Amino acid sequence: MSVSIRPARPGDEAAILRLVIALAVYEREPDAVQATEDSLRKTLFGENPQVFAHLAEMDGEVVGLALWLLTYSTWTGAPSLYLEDLFVCRRARGTGTGRALLTTLAREAKARGCARMDWAVLDWNDKAKDFYHHIGAHHSKGWEPWRIEGDALERLAEG
């Protein structure tokens, strides 16, 4: 059972959506996914894409997803790679698939001149936290995630 990592390409939308939905179920938000194959196609493979993905394959099946984008840190004066979603199917967990995806992203970050990689972890996901500690990542203490969406975003946009 060898794992291979590759950039996502047009035609992968159904596999990506399947993993996004599986991630939502894992994160206890099974009805939260609004993405569609069409929205993924436009976002990932349209003109001037700003969001990217790498997929893990095992025995010809897509079993892992790392979806990411670039941000910028004024403190480092360099771009940062932001990992939006990392998910590995149950059957592929413990095989090195997650580490292989993150290793690929670390190489991507270095190739793009990024000073760091950032991501968020659900507060209850101790397995993920243990894994991230194991690879040398740390929790950014003092920073809290904030978000505006839905009606509040609409009101703000209206001024």
Tokens standing for 81? 């790679």
Question: Mean of the per-residue pLDDT values for the chain?
Answer: 95
pLDDT at 148: 93
* Total domains in the fold of the chain: 1
Active site residues per annotation: 132
CA atoms of 118 and 148, how far apart (whole Å): 19
145, pLDDT greater than 90? no
84, pLDDT greater than 90? yes
Pick the range with the lowest mean pLDDT from 73-87, 88-102, 135-149: 135-149
Q: Are 45 and 90 in contact (CB under 8 A)?
A: no
Per-residue b/e over 84-123, b at no fewer than 16 CB within 10 Å?
Answer: ebbbbbeebeebebbebbbebbeebbeeeebeebebeeee
pLDDT at 56: 98
pLDDT at 142: 87
Give the helix/strand (H/E) hosting 82. Answer: strand 78-88
CA atoms of 23 and 26, how far apart (whole Å): 5
Q: Which domain holds residue 42?
A: 3-158
Q: State the average pLDDT over residues 67-83.
A: 97
pLDDT at 121: 93
Considering the entire predicted model, what is its pTM?
Answer: 0.93
Which residues, in sequence order, are bridge partners of residue 57?
4, 62
89, pLDDT greater than 90? yes
143, pLDDT greater than 90? no
- Whichever domain contains 141, its CATH number is 3.40.630.30
Q: Are 99 and 93 in contact (CB under 8 A)?
A: no
Q: What is the pLDDT of residues 1-35, one digit of tens each?
A: 799 999 999 999 999 999 999 999 999 998 999 99
